[in-house]
Every structure is written in structure tokens, then in C-alpha cells.
Amino acid sequence: MDATTLFLVGLFLLVALAVLAGEIASRLGQAALVGQLLVGVILGPSLLGGPLGLNTLTAQFAPINVLATFLILMLAGLSVTPDQIRATGLSAGLLGAAIFLVPFFAGAALVHVLFPTIPWLTGLFIALTMSITALPVLAIMLREFGLLESRFGSFLLNTSVVNELAAVSAFAVLLRIRAGSDAPGVDAAIAILTVAVFLGTVLSIHYILRVLRHVQVWDRLVARFRANWRSREAWFAILMVVGLGAALYSQFLGLTFLVGAFYAGLLITPESAGKRQHRQITQTFNILTWGFFIPFFFAYVGFEMNLETLGSNWEFLAGFIALAIFAFFSKLFVGTAVTRVLGWSPTESLCAGFLVSSRGAVELAMAVILLSDGVFTTQIFTMVAAVGLITTLLAPIGARPFVRTITDERRQQEEEARRSAIEVPPGFHRLPDDPVP
């Protein structure tokens, strides 16, 4: 079989089986990425990669994966708006910060204890990947459980936004420190300053657009562009140009293109592009990304994993198991404890704790970049991806019984409201941020 045919066969198997496995996982109440990751593991060096001759395709798949990673981070940014960040209440901000900071710092200490030979900066990267709550996966679970439009679901989504923003910014700082000299203090100061410059640029652009909209200049410019520009899908092309420009800018600053792609997506809002154009951009972007690049990306992550490396020695296997247990229960404990302090019921708190324990695209995108840059070995990459797979499997399973209880309580509230002719306020129980009805 010639190289081109082998590449096409491998790409066909990877994407076709990933789409099928994602559908099966969704029907079983799991996130699609679970099935897609497992397909990659099966087709990779762990199982069938050698007999099928697919192990040689890693280099050919790598450029597609770079593009997939770029698009996934832009998609994550598109799901967040500056107004949504500003509207995040103190309680959601507190929870988002807690479920990032506690697993990050405690995880870094645990990695140092379990794997003392791993460099300290690599340990921080490992801890960082365990600290991210997956916004897309959380949204999928909330939709599956019928909680997406509730006050409960909105609160958790805002929490995940805070968590993701903190993680992406911390990733940028750590990458900049890695690119520095041997003086950690100086490198950290330069890294923070560099990230501040990048974020300052993004915020400046956002506020300039707000001012132009306020004085009604921006809307006229958009309307004139729409009337005179004749190329097809111009708004999508502009989105890609903005994303690539931001990626180049962040790459120039030593912050990796992931950071630029994420924050470029954040700048594209209904206000900056126009509601109809933003809807069209989002629809086109979703079709392109969810239809091909996301199944490919998660399958590729599994394809890069080698489960044999986890059992190469019993010390590493024991460390992996301990790390997986910590990754899941740290989020569960912190999410449950903080929401109880905020006044949630035990059922809601446990449900929230399980839901925020899932990982996903951003974590794995970081892991792929760290593997390609030589920060992660195949063994560490496999461990990180396996931890993400395990926690994403357990999150909906653990949350499901509490969702049933919450749903039953909601039905009871609605029934009591009908009997007393009193309108039920939105959500299940009034959370601290809720307005008084």
C-alpha cells in the first residue's frame, strides 16, 4: 500500500469510527469524546496500530491536528463573551476560582511526591491539566440532564467560564516561564508581564469596539461592509483572519497560538459582528469543527496514547492511579464544599461537584501541544489523557442519581405551585445570586 493510500485509509478509519463511537457514547449518556478517545486508543500503538500499519501515520496526522487544536480553542472562546464574564456573580467566580486553584496547587504537590524525578515545571503542567473543568462537556451533560436552561445550569456554566479563563492564562504564564532563562523569579515576572500585555491588547480592542458601538460608528461600518463586500462567506473568512492574527501575536510573545485562538474567539460577539452574522459564523464554525475536526482531534489524542507505558513499572502505575483518584475527588470535594457554603442543598451540591469533575477539549489540547514541544513524554501524555477519560466517564454517572432527585423536587414544586396558583421562580432552589422574585 502506497503512502497516500495508507494516509487516506488511516484518516477514514479514524474519523468514521470516531463519529460512530461518539454517537454510541452519547446514546449511553456519556460525552461523545469518550467514544472518540477509545477509537484512537484502539487504532493506536496500544492495540491495532502495529498490525494495521497505522503507527507510521503520526507525522502525517500532526498538521491536521494543529489545525484542529486551533479551531477547538477558537470554538471554546466563541462560547464565552466579555459580557458573560462581567455578568458572572461573585458566587460563581468564587466557585470557578476554587475548583481551579485547589486542584492546581494540591495537584502540583502530589505530582512532586508521586513522581520526584519529573521536572518541577512539567509537574505544574500536569497539575494544570487536572484543574480544568471542560465547558463544552459540562454544557453537553447539562443539556442531557435537562438542566441547561435552569438557574442551576447557568450558574455552573459561568463557573466553568471562570475556571477556563484562569487555566488558559496560567498555561500562557507557564509556557513563557519555560521559554525564559534559568532565573525562575525573573522568568515568572516576565511571563506575567507578557500575559498582561496580551490580555491588555485584547481588552483594549474589546473596549474600542464598545466605544465605537456606543457612538453608533461601528454599526454603520458593519452595515457598509455588508452592503459592499461581495465575496462569499466573508464573515467566516474575517473570523479566521482574526484568529490567525491573534495566534501569531501570542506565538510572537512566547505564549503559544492556543492562547491567541481562545481569546480571538472571545472577541467575536453578536455586538461586534452583528446578530445575524454572528449566528451565521457560529453555525458555519460549528459544522466545520464538530463535523470533522473535533472527532478527529479526540481520536488523534487516543491515537497518541500508549497504554503499555502506564504499566511499564509498578511505581508509575501506582502513581497514575493515585493521580486519577485525586483528579476526580479534588473537584468533587471542592465543588461540593463551596456550594454548600453558598447555601445550596446537599443534593444540588453533590450534583454540582460531580458535574464540574469532567475534563475535555482544552485540557487535551494543552497536552497535545506539550507533547509536541517535548515537555510531556508519551508516558506522561498517556497518563494525562487517561485521567481526563476516567473523570469524564465518572462525572455523569455520579451526577445522574442527584439529577433525578433535583428533577423530582422541581416537579413537586411545580405541582404545589399549580395547586396554590403561585408561579414557580426559575431554577430549583434560590441560589445566593438569585434576585428576589
Amino acid letter, 90: L
pLDDT of 436: 36
Q: Give ∠ CA 28-164-98 in degrees, rounded to 5.
A: 95
Residue ranges of the chain with pLDDT lower than 50? 424, 426-437
CATH for the stretch 3-420: 1.20.1530.20
Q: Cell 455523569, residue? A: 396
Q: Which DSSP category does 56 fall into?
A: G
pLDDT of 417: 61
**Residue ranges per domain, the chain?**
3-420
**Distance (Å, rounded) from C-alpha 93 to C-alpha 90?**
5
**Distance (Å, rounded) from C-alpha 402 to C-alpha 171?**
33
Cβ proximity of 166 and 96 under 8 Å: yes
pLDDT of 309: 85
pLDDT digits (tens, 9 = 90+) for 158-168: 888 788 888 88
pLDDT of 18: 92
Q: Cell 496514547, residue? A: 305
**Distance (Å, rounded) from C-alpha 98 to C-alpha 337?**
10
**Distance (Å, rounded) from C-alpha 214 to C-alpha 437?**
32
Give whole-number Cα distances, 434 to 13, 36, 149, 169, 180, in Å: 49, 38, 14, 29, 46
pLDDT of 261: 83
Q: Cell 491588547, residue? A: 201
10 Å CB burial of residue 116 (0-12, 13-18, 19+) is exposed
Answering whether pTM is above 0.75, one says yes
